């Protein structure tokens, strides 16, 4: 993997209209991975990367990964200290200024990466400026409500919760773990109602599903029962399954449309493959705009 990642980083990065032919998040993550593996990174990449961090306005996640990558470069002394340190200062200050955004319930998925980046740049932003009881309480509430049941979200948050970051991974010794046998699945059936709503049109079906079933399980049962009405398509993303179409109607990001899911009239806060339904739940897939 290190060899595969380092190949494109040994050349000048491909750009189009002043931007890399990818996202800056991916560039940052690649540089972080290659840096931690000890593989070489060309001066052209380091120059372009530090220049981009000074000129571009990144989102929180990209900002955080870029700060981790630059910190790794600084530790490896792959670049004269001043350009990297200046970029790190800017990124760390930007993350601290956005504290109310990534520390809120709405932006809590970005908290893990932001905290990791700030933990490794304490000389620029002291921990006590951002690591407050309110932040920890918001994170605790989000964990207990199931927001971090998605594996990638948990993986980003867990290091920060124990004051670690991705930069510590090379120094972690993992003890051998003997896993217990997987528990037997929950028994019994539950009755739920599944409905799709598009404008003034709606279709509803009552289903018997296994206890412990997810919304995705319900959708598959409905599709099997009435495929003409409830057929759907899905796409796997790093955040889990994303529903791309139901009943022949596509979600179109270019038109800002998507399929919103509600259970008992409340929007779900986790993915359809994670949310477990209960007896008598009303699950609604509503074609919506954002």
Paired with 250 in beta bridges are 245
Residue 40 has pLDDT above 60, yes or no: yes
Give the mean model confidence (pLDDT) for residues 158-176. 79
Residue 12 has pLDDT above 70, yes or no: no
Could you tell me what percentage of the chain is helix, strand and coil, using 3-state DSSP and rounding each to the nearest 5?
Answer: 45, 20, 35
The pLDDT confidence band at residue 176, using thresholds 50, 70 and 90, is low
Per residue in 123-142, pLDDT (tens digit) is: 889 999 999 989 999 999 99
Residue 14 has pLDDT above 80, yes or no: no
CA distances from 55 to 91, 102, 216 (A): 11, 22, 42
Rg of the chain taking only CA atoms, in angstroms: 23
Q: What is the pLDDT of residue 49?
A: 86
Q: Which of 228, 242, 240 is nearest to 196 (CA)?
A: 228
Give the mean model confidence (pLDDT) for residues 76-92. 78
Mean pLDDT check: name the lowest of 72-76, 108-112, 172-176, 190-194: 172-176
Question: How many CB atoms sit inside 10 A of residue 123's CB?
Answer: 10
- CA–CA separation, 157 vs 142, rounded Å? 11
Q: State the burial class of residue 125 (Cβ atoms within 10 Å of its Cβ: 0-12, 13-18, 19+).
A: buried
Q: What is the pLDDT of residue 182?
A: 45
Q: What is the pLDDT of residue 11?
A: 44
- CA–CA separation, 192 vs 7, rounded Å? 52
Q: Which of 43, 39, 104, 35 is nearest to 65 (CA)?
A: 35
Q: What is the pLDDT of residue 171?
A: 62
Instruction: Name the token pair of 167.
Output: 């930069």
Residue 168 has pLDDT above 50, yes or no: yes
Instruction: Name the token pair of 131.
Output: 């690591």
Output 268 or 44, whichever has higher pLDDT: 268
- CA–CA separation, 170 vs 151, rounded Å? 21
Give me the residue label for tokens 């007896």.
279
Q: What is the pLDDT of residue 7?
A: 53
Per residue in 197-243, pLDDT (tens digit) is: 999 999 999 999 999 999 999 999 999 999 999 999 998 776 778 89
Q: What is the pLDDT of residue 118?
A: 96
Output 87 or 76, whichever has higher pLDDT: 87
Helix 111-119 and helix 81-97: axis angle, to 10°?
Answer: 140
- Structural contact between residues 138 and 101, judged by C-beta atoms closer than 8 angstroms: no
What letter would DSSP give residue 270? Answer: S
- Structural contact between residues 167 and 36, judged by C-beta atoms closer than 8 angstroms: yes
Say what the pTM is: 0.62
CA distances from 268 to 27, 140, 154, 212, 279 (A): 32, 18, 18, 16, 16
Give the mean model confidence (pLDDT) for residues 175-183. 55
CA distances from 263 to 210, 235, 267 (A): 17, 21, 6
Give the mean model confidence (pLDDT) for residues 109-126. 93
Give me the residue label for tokens 């049962």.
221
Instruction: Name the token pair of 8.
Output: 């494109």
Q: 2: which residues sit within 8 A by CB, 6+ positions away? A: 33, 34, 37, 38, 39
Range picked from 59-73, 74-88, 139-153 for highest mean pLDDT: 59-73
């Amino acid at each position: 993997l290190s060899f595969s990642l380092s190949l494109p980083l040994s050349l000048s990065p491909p750009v189009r209209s002043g931007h890399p032919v990818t996202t800056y998040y991916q560039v940052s993550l690649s540089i972080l991975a290659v840096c931690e593996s000890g593989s070489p990174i060309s001066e052209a990449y380091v120059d372009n990367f530090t220049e981009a961090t000074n000129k571009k306005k990144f989102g929180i996640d990209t900002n955080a990964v870029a700060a981790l990558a630059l910190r790794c470069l600084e530790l490896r002394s792959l670049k004269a200290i001043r350009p990297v340190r200046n970029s790190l200062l800017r990124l760390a200050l930007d993350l601290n200024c956005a504290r109310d955004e990534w520390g809120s319930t709405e932006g809590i998925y970005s908290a893990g990466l932001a905290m990791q980046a700030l933990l490794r740049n304490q000389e620029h932003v002291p921990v006590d400026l951002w690591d407050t009881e309110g932040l920890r309480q918001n994170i605790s509430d989000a964990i207990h409500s199931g927001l971090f049941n998605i594996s990638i979200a948990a993986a980003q948050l867990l290091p920060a919760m124990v004051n670690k970051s991705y930069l510590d991974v090379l120094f972690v010794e993992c003890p051998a773990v003997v896993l217990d046998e997987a528990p037997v699945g929950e028994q019994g059936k539950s009755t739920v109602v599944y409905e799709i709503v598009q404008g003034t049109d709606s279709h509803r079906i009552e289903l018997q599903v296994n206890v412990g079933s997810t919304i995705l399980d319900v959708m598959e049962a409905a599709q099997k029962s009435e495929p003409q009405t409830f057929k759907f398509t899905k796409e796997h993303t790093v955040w889990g399954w994303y529903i791309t179409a139901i009943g022949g109607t596509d979600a179109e990001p270019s038109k800002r449309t998507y399929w919103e899911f509600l259970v008992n009239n409340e929007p779900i806060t986790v993915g359809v493959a994670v949310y477990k339904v209960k007896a008598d739940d009303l699950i609604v897939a509503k074609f919506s705009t954002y």
